């Protein structure tokens, strides 16, 4: 028996996905090993050849048919997302709508962005006609996250398909049903291209198998630590790698900002999806003269929210209960190092594993004392608003990924920019400033890959904008023209139109002619 056979024999055949809110099973899926992954990539390779051979117009038509199928199945897709992540149905519906917008843009703009284009040859190569074409890479491996199991991976899947590639998708083990449904909808909408999008399910070992398979590029979303592991696998075969690894996103509030608008945006950016948003709001830097009123407005808004295991809660439980320990540690260490708790603390945010039907919230506006609803869930976390958090605290340096926001006072916008840029992450940010031009100038000083002025996550709904970061936030871009090009290989082509007067790339050119050409080039570049 080979080691592969032994692995298959000891590997569980299936795994069960449970609701983060109730602990009830919501699906069972196969654990795909290296052999199944390799077969999926092989099928995708065959599909990719036929897909790339289609005209751009035909690919566009097929993708738009898929988009319409996805729109027609919006309720079913949203229900699957909500069941697997625990997020409210309204949040899941918004995720599907954003996905449709991006898929529509990718399908309709791929030809314009990727079609061959002429470039100037320059004087030295005036006899050459030069052009650039973008060729599909072939098969793209996509490893997706659990917090936005449709919108985020579709930033790679949809754009890779529009660029002429096939895709093998490994969704998070917490949200495999969303990935399976996505592939099924494409297969039913475009049955003549079987294998164009295949979903493989399993744990981290399945993702490792995909990264080590015969794919032509891997697009990954997850933590920096996991990204390093996946990248190490890709390095063995020099497989290109694109990584989006989260953020510690900052919001800057100037003295002339609309504080009501800023507070409203901070609350939504920090608490939506239970704070499990890579480009959400985790740090706020407000100039000193508006810090206190901004804090009051944020707390007032948070107090009015319904959270916990109630039907109309504004956010759901933590999708990964283990993340609660990270959130607790950040809050406890911040308070121990001198931070102030404006609302909530490590005690009020604590979860419980109560029996089904038990709730720590009575439906009132008070957000403290939340608890779970089953013995296997209990990851409802109450919101926490902190102030005066030391900049070296984990709550300011590490990704919290929970419903916690820190609001610190700064002496000036310059100080706010310095603090925002001091993070090892550089994914997203936002600026609130009455003067929009001044706000844009502040945005230009931030390291973040995407910045919104007078809103949060404004860029997420603009498909033409590239998205990605640097540092611990990863590298590469999805969305927009950059996202389309990310899944292609540019090919440069020159066609000689006529024989040059002096051929500098021939051993037969006389030395005197070569010297005259060099002298002419020297004179030209000294006087241009």
pLDDT at position 127 over 80? yes
Q: Per residue in 50-82, is it b (16+ CB within 10 Å) or e — as a string?
A: ebbeeebeebbebbeebbebbeebeeebbbbbb
pLDDT tens digits for range 211-265: 999 999 999 999 999 999 999 999 999 999 999 999 999 999 999 999 999 999 9
- Tokens read off for 144: 């997706």
Compute the average pLDDT of residues 402-417: 98
pLDDT of residue 371: 30
Tell me if 279 sits within 8 A of 313, measured CB to CB. Answer: no
Compute the average pLDDT of residues 460-483: 98
pLDDT of residue 311: 87
Tell me if 100 sits within 8 A of 454, measured CB to CB. Answer: no
pLDDT at position 316 over 60? yes
pLDDT of residue 377: 43
The whole-angstrom distance between residue 222's C-alpha and the CA centroid of its chain comes to 8
- pTM for the predicted model, two decimal places: 0.92
Q: Compute the chain's Rg from CA coordinates.
A: 26
Give the integer Cα–Cα distance in Å for 146 and 83: 12
Compute the average pLDDT of residues 314-329: 93
pLDDT tens digits for range 342-370: 999 877 765 443 332 323 222 222 223 32
Give the integer Cα–Cα distance in Å for 329 and 343: 17
pLDDT at position 403 over 80? yes
pLDDT tens digits for range 97-126: 999 999 999 999 999 999 999 999 998 999
Compute the average pLDDT of residues 312-339: 94
pLDDT of residue 9: 56
Active site residues: 244, 278
pLDDT of residue 374: 29
Residues in the chain: 528
Tell me if 408 sits within 8 A of 419, measured CB to CB. Answer: yes
Phi then psi for residue 467, to 5 deg, are -135, 135
pLDDT of residue 357: 30
pLDDT of residue 7: 56
Compute the average pLDDT of residues 448-470: 97
- pLDDT, mean over the chain: 92
pLDDT tens digits for range 485-511: 999 999 999 999 999 999 999 999 999
- Tokens read off for 61: 């038509």
Q: Count of CB atoms within 10 A of residue 411's CB?
A: 10
Compute the average pLDDT of residues 189-193: 97
Secondary structure of residue 452 in the 3-state scheme: strand
Give the integer Cα–Cα distance in Å for 496 and 284: 58
pLDDT of residue 26: 96
Tell me if 456 sits within 8 A of 430, measured CB to CB. Answer: yes
pLDDT of residue 244: 97
Tell me if 493 sits within 8 A of 130, measured CB to CB. Answer: yes
Residue 403: burial class (beta carbons within 10 Å; 0-12, 13-18, 19+): buried
């Amino acid at each position: 028996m080979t080691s592969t056979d032994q692995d298959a024999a000891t590997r569980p055949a299936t795994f069960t996905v449970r609701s983060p809110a109730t602990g009830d099973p919501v699906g069972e899926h196969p654990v795909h090993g290296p052999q199944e992954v390799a077969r999926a990539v092989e099928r995708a390779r065959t599909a990719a050849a036929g897909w790339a051979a289609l005209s751009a117009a035909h690919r566009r038509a097929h993708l738009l048919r898929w988009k319409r199928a996805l729109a027609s199945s919006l309720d079913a897709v949203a229900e699957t997302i909500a069941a697997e992540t625990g997020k409210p149905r309204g949040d899941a519906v918004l995720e599907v709508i954003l996905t449709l917008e991006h898929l529509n843009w990718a399908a309709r703009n791929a030809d314009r962005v990727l079609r061959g284009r002429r470039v100037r040859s320059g004087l030295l190569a005036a006899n050459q006609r030069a052009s650039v074409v973008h060729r599909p890479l072939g098969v793209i491996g996509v490893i997706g996250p659990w917090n936005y199991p449709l919108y985020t991976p579709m930033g790679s899947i949809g754009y890779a398909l529009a660029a002429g590639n096939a895709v093998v998708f490994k969704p998070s083990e917490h949200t495999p049903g969303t990935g399976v449904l996505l592939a099924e909808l494409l297969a039913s909408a475009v049955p003549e291209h079987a294998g164009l999008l295949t979903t493989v399910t399993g744990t981290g070992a399945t993702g490792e198998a995909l990264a080590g398979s015969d794919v032509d590029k891997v697009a990954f979303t997850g933590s920096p630590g996991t990204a390093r592991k996946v990248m190490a696998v890709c390095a063995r075969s020099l497989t290109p790698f694109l990584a989006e690894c989260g953020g510690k996103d900052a919001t800057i509030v100037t003295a002339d900002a609309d504080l009501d608008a800023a507070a409203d945006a901070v609350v939504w950016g920090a608490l939506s999806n239970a704070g499990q948003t890579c480009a959400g709001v985790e740090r706020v830097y407000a100039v000193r003269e508006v810090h206190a009123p901004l804090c009051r407005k944020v707390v007032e808004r948070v107090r009015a929210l319904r959270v916990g295991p109630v039907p109309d809660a504004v956010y759901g439980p933590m999708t990964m209960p283990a993340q609660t320990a990270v959130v607790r540690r950040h809050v406890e260490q911040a308070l121990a190092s001198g931070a102030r708790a404006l609302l909530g603390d490590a005690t009020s945010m604590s979860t419980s594993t109560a029996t089904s039907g038990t709730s720590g919230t009575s439906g009132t506006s008070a957000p403290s004392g939340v608890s779970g609803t089953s013995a296997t869930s209990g990851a409802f976390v109450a919101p926490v608003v902190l102030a005066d958090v030391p900049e070296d605290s984990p709550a300011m340096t590490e990704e919290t990924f929970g419903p916690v926001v820190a609001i610190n006072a700064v002496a000036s916008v310059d100080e706010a920019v310095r603090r925002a840029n001091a993070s090892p992450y550089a994914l997203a940010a936002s600026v609130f400033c009455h003067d929009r031009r001044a706000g844009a100038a502040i945005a230009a000083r931030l390291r973040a890959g995407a910045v919104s002025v007078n809103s949060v996550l404004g860029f997420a709904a603009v498909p033409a904008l590239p998205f990605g970061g640097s540092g611990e936030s990863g590298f590469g871009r999805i969305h927009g023209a950059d996202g389309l090009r990310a899944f292609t290989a540019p090919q440069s082509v020159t066609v000689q139109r006529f024989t040059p007067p002096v051929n500098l790339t021939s051993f037969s050119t006389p030395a005197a002619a070569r010297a005259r050409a060099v002298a002419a080039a020297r004179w030209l570049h000294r006087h241009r």
